[in-house]
Structure 1
């Protein structure tokens, strides 16, 4: 579980901050965007998810809520990648991201079924 948390958190920190810190290189790889402000907002959301996952890594805490975030975020991102590539709104390079996101979802599901997710104490 720790490899998954660390890997996903670092991936999200890098991919979330990249368009914010250096849009020209991001646009060169992914294609130009008309709504850069929206790209930055999405980048900040991805970054904060990375921060939460990194905190869970250092605190060694994997709750049901974290499981939902850890698996749900990449599921949503993969879905958006596939949908908007199919509509020709974004570049096909985003399909590479979709593959990575689906692998992350699969890893979370394996961990969930393996009992690596803790239930909150009430």
Structure 2
């Protein structure tokens, strides 16, 4: 795995702690069942590192792996557009509900593993409908 959080660090070994192993197992089960999962914990405890390591393993197995970064401006439509861009490689256009329908079809068709980092930053009005 590439050390993404530690720029310039080379030849380092990952330490697969018990928490890391448990989180990976939970992510593996959620991905196998096409379910939602959340990694919760204090800042700096390795949640993003674990999710990225998991996505690397998913991609190595041949399944589509997508990483999205959330922010305070993220709305339902913005996150839908970002995910559609990752799935199609193009910039989607149209009304929000049409975009959501398009996204639902692509997610069902391709069954990617999607990680949304810092999802708590997203505007709650944007995520309520997306995650339900």
Report the TM-score, using the length of structure 1 for normalisation.
0.31
Larger relative strand fraction: 2
Relative contact order higher in (CA < 8 Å, ≥ 6 apart) = 1
Name the one with the larger helix percent: 1
